[in-house]
Amino acid sequence: ETGVTQTPRHLVMGMTNKKSLKCEQHLGHNAMYWYKQSAKKPLELMFVYSLEERVENNSVPSRFSPECPNSSHLFLHLHTLQPEDSALYLCASSQAWTADNEKLFFGSGTQLSVL
């Protein structure tokens, strides 16, 4: 398997549920990202991990909790979400968290619906 893989592809959860999104990259990259994509809105950066250390946290509510156990895996733990959190959640990776991070490689995303 190559590239960036995200699971699950679709997720429906209630406001009181706890779930986790998983991302795995097979590219040997050192930086991993979580983005949120909502209809009619630009891509919003949520978190950045470089060499397993969080380097960017874009004022994301605490009901979203990232985890990066190693440079190949990234998780987004979800709890007590709100309906407005329904969106496509994209994972991405790049060679490094440097000035030349244009080569972002994205997964196919998890389409999340919060009821």
Which backbone phi and psi does 10 adopt, to 5 degrees?
Answer: -135, 145
Binding part of the chain for other proteins, among 13-21, 38-46, 63-71, 72-80 by CB under 8 A, reads 38-46
> How many residues lie near other proteins (CB under 8 A)?
26
What is the smallest separation between the CB atom of 107 and other proteins, expressed in angstroms? 5
Binding part of the chain for other proteins, among 12-20, 67-75, 77-85, 102-110 by CB under 8 A, reads 102-110
Amino acid at 91: C
Q: Does 107 bind other proteins (CB under 8 A)?
A: yes
Footprint (CB under 8 A) of other proteins, residues 82-101: 90-92, 97-101
d(CA 91, CA 23): 6
Q: How many residues does the chain have?
A: 115
Interacting residues of 43 by C-beta distance below 8 A, sequence separation 6+: 35, 36, 37, 90
- Contact residue for other proteins among 1, 53, 84, 102 (CB under 8 A): 102
Q: Does 53 bind other proteins (CB under 8 A)?
A: no
Q: Is 103 left (phi over 0), alpha (psi -120 to 50) or beta?
A: beta
d(CA 5, CA 66): 16
Give the binding site for other proteins (CB under 8 A): 4, 40-43, 45, 48, 55-56, 58, 90-92, 97-109
